[in-house]
Chains A and B, each alone.
Chain A
Amino acid sequence: MTGLSARRLPLLDRLRAASSSHRSISSIVTMALITALLPIIATIPPFSGFNPQSVWVNSFADAGVYVLLALGLNIVVGLAGLLDLGYAAFFAIGAYTYAYGASPFSGNDFPFWGMLLVGAFVAAMFGLLLGAPTLRLRGDYLAIVTLGFGEIVPTVFLNADRYTKGTNGISGVYLPSLPGYQFTFTDPWPFYITMAVIVTVAIIAIFRLQESRLGRAWMAIREDELAATSNGVNAVSTKLLAFALGASTAGLGGVFVASKLAFVSPDQFGFTVSFTVLAMVVLGGMGNIWGVAAGAFIVWEILTVILKQLNAVLAGTPLSGIDFLQYQYLLYGLALVAMMLLRPEGLFPSARRRRELHAAEEAEEPAAPTGALEGAGQ
């Protein structure tokens, strides 16, 4: 440990200290830079060859939804250690909430900006309701129950067709608008900027929570639930808050998606979504907020843009006979397997997890003589 800090550059140290004491400002600056740079990078080869800039920007806005989902799931899985396989349910609930709030189908026309909060709130309430019966469960059992919830919610939306128009979905959902400005399908920029702002706010909020009393309680529950409760942590409210806050983030994503596509249907929220988001969290580096966000962004762009363009890129080579679009999930699966074998802590691990997984390699100072520890346990 001491060797590690001595090797660190003083400048880097100072930067790190500054960014952690002004975390919100540095988050805003970072997000602003990324938001400004991404569209520029999209115009540079090879990226410019894949898509025109506006298509890229559109895909960035879509990626933002998944960044948001991954950030939310990271609270539940990465911080509190509760494996949730039905996370798409809250995404769906957020989306349908907006569809009820602003579409010809329901006859309501509430403003998008207010509905963002409403969607987050409704999703959070369902997070509580899912969380409550699962409080005693952990690990595998919890995963199965959440998986069930993730299947139930889209199925309800599918079959309650009097209220949801079933498999046809609710169409004509209103696009967002600002006073004097109407969002349109043809211009992805306003959606992109809106998403960047939402993600920035989410990142700041999650950083603050993670470093608060609640964040420490989440980590304590993840580490050792019995020790946590024996130190005064209320496991019930701590877990419920993890579910609720994770769900509310997904709710935000849902409202955004419904307004952007102007359409919701049950098949947008299947198990693939839950599983993709979980993979994004793991690939990005569980527990690390920036890592998870970057992981989600990269996975989304690879899945939806890069793999699609492989056909174009490889046209004229001997590989051109292969339709890579068909293999996108195969390649994706292979990438997951390779990642887990080579870099189990994810692309951008949190410092904590890196130390956790590579403890054996860097342990210069052996911890407890484990023999004594086991002996004492008798």
Chain B
Amino acid sequence: MSDAASQGRSILKASQVTRQFGGLVAVREVDFEIPEGAIVSLIGPNGAGKTTFFNVVAGIIEPTAGAVEFRGQRVIARPQRGWLEPVLWFLPSVVVEAVGISVELAIGHSEQGAAIATGIAFALLVAMLLMASIRSDVYRRLLTRTGIFRSARPNDMVRAGLGRTFQNIRLFKNMTAEENILVGMHSRLRATPVDALFATPRQRAEEERARKRASELLALVGLTGREDELAKNLPYGDQRRLELARALASEPALLLLDEPTAGMNPHETDELTALIARLRRDLGLTILLIEHDMRVVMGISDRVTVLDHGERIAEGTPEEVRRDPRVIEAYLGAPAA
């Protein structure tokens, strides 16, 4: 199983990723590759930089150095020519305004020139805003064309096919289970606010499909019929499973699970482990797992990477990692000299 998985192309490739918080280097020059279709685990003692690495990959924090490629695209790295972005925004308006004022100065006393120029400058700014916020794909293309590189935001990563859960469950507590999942589908739904205003048939059909899909996802994680329950009223284990269903709702190709079994009893842990294995098999997902429970890690991982003090100290099959002296040292301390 592990051989077949490691033969394939890699879905995610991090090279020399470093993240520094002030004087603390949380992640140091980590190279990391996830083969398509594999279950890869990231382990390490507390404070080893696992979650920081996760957050870099998910687009939540920018790396200090290094880059991440996702599905063959370089998506995360230090921004390039970032200073050009404000120029892009304001230059047209400033030019129009300058022309307006100089025309007015040349002609003399009328105030028409400046007033019209101000109007046009204003309209240009608004147009830019509208494009950047509503047609973000067009805006990104414009940035690429001008040689500006902007690291992907979390929502860009979701759109590209990355789903995640959080170490300390972050559900939308005052929304129902169904609504939580519908938010998870956000990037896959097409209806615009205008569609919603006029309740177009397209929008209504899409909503109906989405609700049906939400019920299916709830059933998949074992929460059949709990659609209308507020997320915060669900028992702890169910909250974890709901978060998993919400992550699946975005139809990810790569799923990042941050300690999915934390706080669960052995029985729940086994169930969830089986579910994760099934997700890979049935949905063809690639999974990156942070986990402390070695039973889970050794049971389902194809590859295991070990971080300690922000550095990668070992990488290999579960068996190899288990025997690696440096891993043993990181967990148990160095043997007395």
Q: Is the CB of A216 within 8 A of B183?
A: yes
Give chain B interface residues in 130-186, CB to chain A under 8 Å.
130, 132-134, 136, 153-155, 158-159, 164, 166-175, 179, 182-184, 186
Q: Is the CB of B130 within 8 A of A232?
A: no
Give chain B interface residues in 202-241, CB to chain A under 8 Å.
203, 207, 229-230, 232-236, 239
Inter-chain CA distance A236–B156, complex, in Å, is: 12
Q: Is the CB of B183 within 8 A of A217?
A: yes
Give chain A interface residues in 184-238, CB to chain B under 8 Å.
205, 208-209, 211-217, 219-220, 223-224, 226-237
Query: A124-159 toward B: CB 8 Å interface, digit per residue (1/0)?
Result: 010011001000000000000000000000000000
Most chain A beta carbons < 10 A, residue from B58, B60, B159, B179: B179
Q: Is the CB of A373 within 8 A of B132?
A: no
Residues in A neighbouring B174, C-beta threshold 8 A: 219, 223, 352-353, 355-356
Inter-chain CA distance A377–B232, complex, in Å, is: 17
Q: B2 on the interface (CB 8 Å rule)?
A: no
Give chain A interface residues in 358-373, CB to chain B under 8 Å.
359, 363, 365, 367-369, 372-373
CB distance from A243 to the nearest CB of B (A): 11
Q: Is the CB of B155 within 8 A of A227?
A: no
Q: Is the CB of A227 within 8 A of B170?
A: yes
Q: A378 on the interface (CB 8 Å rule)?
A: yes
Q: Is the CB of B155 within 8 A of A235?
A: yes
Q: A241 on the interface (CB 8 Å rule)?
A: yes
Q: Is the CB of B236 within 8 A of A372?
A: yes
CB distance from A75 to the nearest CB of B (A): 11
CB distance from A249 to the nearest CB of B (A): 13
Q: Is the CB of B125 within 8 A of A129?
A: yes
Name the one of B129, B155, B199, B239 contacting A233, with C-beta atoms under 8 angstroms.
B155
Q: B196 on the interface (CB 8 Å rule)?
A: yes
Number of interface residues of A (CB under 8 A): 52
Name the one of B134, B158, B179, B189 contacting A219, with C-beta atoms under 8 angstroms.
B179
Inter-chain CA distance A223–B233, complex, in Å, is: 15
Query: A16-36 toward B: CB 8 Å interface, digit per residue (1/0)?
Result: 000000001000000000000
Q: Is the CB of B236 within 8 A of A1?
A: no
CB distance from A190 to the nearest CB of B (A): 26
Given A129-B125, A214-B196, A217-B183, do A375 and B263 touch, yes or no (CB 8 Å)? yes
Name the one of B130, B169, B246 contacting A231, with C-beta atoms under 8 angstroms.
B246
Q: A376 on the interface (CB 8 Å rule)?
A: yes
Q: Is the CB of A223 within 8 A of B173?
A: yes
Q: Which residue of A lies closest to B228 (CB)?
A: A1
Q: B23 on the interface (CB 8 Å rule)?
A: no
Q: B126 on the interface (CB 8 Å rule)?
A: yes
Q: Is the CB of B168 within 8 A of A232?
A: no
Q: A240 on the interface (CB 8 Å rule)?
A: yes
Q: Is the CB of A367 within 8 A of B193?
A: no
Q: Is the CB of B169 within 8 A of A373?
A: yes
Residues in A neighbouring B175, C-beta threshold 8 A: 216, 219-220, 223, 352
Q: B197 on the interface (CB 8 Å rule)?
A: yes
Given A212-B203, A240-B129, do A227 and B262 touch, yes or no (CB 8 Å)? no
Q: Is the CB of A230 within 8 A of B154?
A: yes
Q: B15 on the interface (CB 8 Å rule)?
A: no
Number of interface residues of B (CB under 8 A): 58
Inter-chain CA distance A8–B287, complex, in Å, is: 44
Residues in B neighbouring A229, C-beta threshold 8 A: 60, 153-155
Inter-chain CA distance A356–B166, complex, in Å, is: 23
Query: A237-281 toward B: CB 8 Å interface, digit per residue (1/0)?
Result: 100110001000000000000000000000000000000000000
Inter-chain CA distance A374–B60, complex, in Å, is: 22
Q: Which residue of A lies closest to B186 (CB)?
A: A232
Q: Is the CB of B186 within 8 A of A213?
A: yes
Q: Is the CB of B236 within 8 A of A232?
A: no
Q: Which residue of B lies closest to A5 (CB)?
A: B228
Q: Is the CB of B183 within 8 A of A368?
A: no
Residues in B neighbouring A230, C-beta threshold 8 A: 58, 60, 154-155, 158, 164, 166, 170
Q: Is the CB of A227 within 8 A of B172?
A: yes
Given A368-B236, A368-B239, A376-B263, do A216 and B58 touch, yes or no (CB 8 Å)? no
Given A217-B186, A219-B179, A231-B158, do A209 and B193 touch, yes or no (CB 8 Å)? yes
Given A208-B197, A230-B60, A240-B133, do A373 and B158 touch, yes or no (CB 8 Å)? no
Residues in B neighbouring A209, C-beta threshold 8 A: 193, 196-197
CB distance from B198 to the nearest CB of A (A): 8
Most chain B beta carbons < 10 A, residue from A212, A230, A359, A376: A230
Inter-chain CA distance A245–B184, complex, in Å, is: 23
Q: B250 on the interface (CB 8 Å rule)?
A: yes
Give chain A interface residues in 73-109, CB to chain B under 8 Å.
none
Most chain B beta carbons < 10 A, residue from A223, A372, A375: A223
Name the one of B158, B184, B197, B247 contacting A205, with C-beta atoms under 8 angstroms.
B197
Q: Is the CB of A241 within 8 A of B193?
A: yes
Q: Is the CB of A231 within 8 A of B186?
A: yes
CB distance from B259 to the nearest CB of A (A): 7
Residues in B neighbouring A208, C-beta threshold 8 A: 196-197, 199
Inter-chain CA distance A215–B235, complex, in Å, is: 26
CB distance from B255 to the nearest CB of A (A): 12
CB distance from B148 to the nearest CB of A (A): 17
Q: Is the CB of A128 within 8 A of B263?
A: no
Given A232-B155, A356-B174, A367-B234, do A216 and B182 touch, yes or no (CB 8 Å)? yes
Contacts beyond the supplied A245-B193, A352-B230, A377-B168: 16 A-B pairs with Cβ under 8 Å: A24-B199, A125-B126, A132-B129, A216-B179, A216-B183, A216-B186, A217-B183, A231-B184, A231-B249, A233-B183, A234-B133, A236-B132, A359-B232, A367-B235, A367-B239, A374-B168
Q: Which 5 A-B pairs have the closest CB atoms?
A: A232-B187, A212-B196, A376-B262, A232-B158, A237-B133
Of the A-B pairs whose beta carbons lie under 8 Å apart in the complex, a sample of 10, sorted by A's number, is A214-B193, A227-B170, A229-B155, A236-B132, A236-B133, A237-B133, A367-B232, A376-B259, A377-B168, A378-B46
